[in-house]
């Protein structure tokens, strides 16, 4: 099973749907149609999953960087919204 190494040092099972929900929240906050970016989301999750499976683990910074790099090329305003994600959705 692939593990996500959290910033605080803990681990949790990798969950691509958690990544999908985070990207969707950022997109919705930026008034994007999810249909418009569905393919980018799917490809991003696929790539992150493949990267994580190579070593059996991936850290949260690598996930975040991969998402931001992918969207910076195509939908940079979602990146801006995503950078505000922690303050908006995490206590």
- Domain layout of the chain by residue ranges: 3-89
Long-range Cβ contacts of 43-46 (<8 Å, 24+ apart)? 43/70, 44/19, 44/70, 44/71, 45/16, 45/19, 45/20
Vertex 74: Cα angle to 41 and 81 (nearest 5):
70
pLDDT tens digits, 16-48:
999 899 888 888 877 778 888 888 889 889 999
pLDDT band at 71 (very low <50, low <70, confident <90, very high): confident
The pair of structure tokens assigned to 58 is: 């991936």
3-class DSSP state for residue 89? helix
Q: Which residue has the tokens 């696929």?
A: 46
């Amino acid at each position: 099973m692939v593990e996500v190494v959290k910033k605080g040092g803990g681990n949790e099972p990798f969950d691509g749907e958690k990544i999908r929900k985070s990207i969707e929240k950022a997109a919705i906050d930026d008034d994007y149609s999810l249909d418009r970016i569905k393919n980018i989301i799917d490809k991003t999750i696929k790539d992150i999953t493949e990267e994580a499976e190579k070593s059996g683990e991936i850290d949260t910074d690598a996930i975040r960087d991969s998402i931001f790099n992918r969207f910076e090329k195509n939908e940079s305003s979602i990146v801006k919204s995503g950078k505000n994600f922690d303050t908006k959705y995490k206590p």
